């Protein structure tokens, strides 16, 4: 009898464990479904927010004046007035909108079409002891996914679902960086502030606005030291001509010649819009670029 009770007790315990696992799995499925539905709702709401923000931008008299007058000063005043972001709340959803120049950083996707800019980027990365294979990783991800394409790295063997054709966002770039660090056992890449170095424009607009260029970009396009690059970027004056800017910043001939290999200007009327949406346990990020002259948004990226 004792043995049978022991067996019965063991069977009961096993039954409870199985039930617990089954119920736990079912609850997980329900929770996953709820999260999926919530994400679908979030995506729909995100589209509405984007439409609303574009409507506000299209209706802005200040932006209309900037586009019509090609005004360097008006663009500067507009960006200064919204520095730090715009907080909004709607039906339990918190929304933070950040608006900056879309042209303060370097369009990394351009290295796929410009060999010299690729070489300059290689030189910049080498200063921080980043291996040349990192450039190969970037170029592999930029390749169009078509039959017969050859890859120089194994990134897609470990990440078969990774987006191909261009580097689409900072989240996308971070996945590439994680692979680089794991594959080559190299953390040197952590020393580079990619947020201040790269943007992810494709063919739409790749010109750097020198009035808003970051220290990282000044270092890249002039080949100067990081200390001097910080000095070049920290001025609070906007310039209406390259000649005035070169003179005020005391750019040397070599620096000007190298800068001339990049597409630059002192008035590039494109905005970068970043939206952080927080609702309950879900945070989503949306970004896009806005053409002030043509009142049009493009390069939309949704990260839900």
pLDDT in 10s for each residue of the chain, 304 residues: 444 344 444 444 444 444 344 434 443 443 454 455 666 666 777 777 788 888 888 988 999 999 999 999 999 999 988 888 888 777 777 888 899 999 999 999 999 888 999 999 999 999 999 999 999 999 999 998 887 889 999 999 999 999 999 999 999 999 999 999 999 999 999 999 999 999 998 765 689 999 999 999 999 999 999 999 999 998 778 999 999 999 999 999 999 999 999 999 999 999 999 988 887 777 888 899 999 999 999 888 888 7
Contacts of 92 (CB under 8 A, 6+ apart): 279, 280
Distance CA(148)–CA(150), nearest Å, equals: 6
Find out whether 268 and 67 touch, Cβ atoms under 8 Å.
Answer: no
pLDDT at 85: 82
Distance CA(158)–CA(303), nearest Å, equals: 22
| Dihedral sign computed on CA atoms, order 241, 243, 249, 255 | positive
Q: Closest by alpha carbon to 138, among 160, 116, 107, 161? A: 107
pLDDT at 38: 62
Q: Closest by alpha carbon to 266, among 206, 199, 208? A: 208
Find out whether 166 and 200 touch, Cβ atoms under 8 Å.
Answer: yes
For the record, the structure tokens of 161 come out as 């679902």
Domain ranges of the chain: 37-102+268-303, 129-191
Distance CA(202)–CA(211), nearest Å, equals: 21
Find out whether 291 and 276 touch, Cβ atoms under 8 Å.
Answer: no
Residue 179 CB neighbours (<10 A): 19
- The helix/strand/coil state of 42 is helix
End-to-end CA distance of the chain: 59
CATH node for 37-102+268-303:
3.30.1300.30
pLDDT at 35: 52
Distance CA(264)–CA(60), nearest Å, equals: 26
Helices (H) and strands (E) in the chain, counts: 12, 9
Concatenated DSSP letters of 195-235: HHHEE---SS---EETTT--HHHHHHHH---HHHHHHHH--
């Amino acid at each position: 009898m004792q043995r049978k009770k022991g067996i019965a007790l063991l069977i009961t315990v096993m039954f409870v464990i199985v039930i617990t696992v089954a119920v736990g799995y079912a609850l997980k499925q329900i929770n996953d479904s709820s999260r999926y539905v919530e994400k679908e709702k979030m995506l729909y709401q995100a589209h509405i927010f984007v439409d609303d923000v574009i409507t506000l931008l299209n209706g802005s008299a200040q932006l209309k004046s900037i586009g019509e007058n090609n005004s360097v000063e008006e663009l500067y005043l507009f960006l200064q007035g919204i520095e730090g972001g715009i907080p909004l709340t709607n039906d339990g959803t918190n929304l933070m909108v950040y608006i900056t120049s879309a042209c303060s950083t370097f369009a990394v996707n351009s290295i796929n079409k410009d060999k010299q800019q690729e070489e300059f980027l290689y030189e910049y990365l080498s200063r921080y002891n980043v291996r040349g294979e990192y450039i190969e990783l970037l170029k592999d991800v930029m390749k169009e996914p078509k039959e017969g394409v050859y890859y120089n790295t194994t990134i897609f063997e470990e990440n078969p679902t990774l987006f191909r054709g261009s580097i689409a966002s900072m989240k996308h770039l971070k996945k590439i960086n994680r692979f680089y660090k794991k594959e080559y056992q190299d953390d040197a890449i952590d020393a580079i502030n990619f947020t201040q170095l790269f943007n992810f424009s494709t063919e739409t607009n790749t010109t750097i606005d020198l009035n808003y260029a970051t220290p990282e970009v000044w270092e890249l396009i002039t080949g100067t030291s990081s200390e001097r690059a910080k000095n070049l970027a920290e001025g609070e004056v906007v310039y209406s001509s390259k000649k005035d800017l070169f003179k005020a910043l005391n750019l040397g001939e070599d620096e000007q010649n190298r800068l001339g290999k990049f597409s630059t200007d002192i008035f590039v009327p494109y905005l970068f819009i970043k939206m952080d949406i927080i609702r309950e346990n879900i945070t989503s990020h949306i970004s896009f670029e806005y053409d002030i002259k043509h009142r049009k948004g493009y390069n939309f990226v949704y990260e839900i």
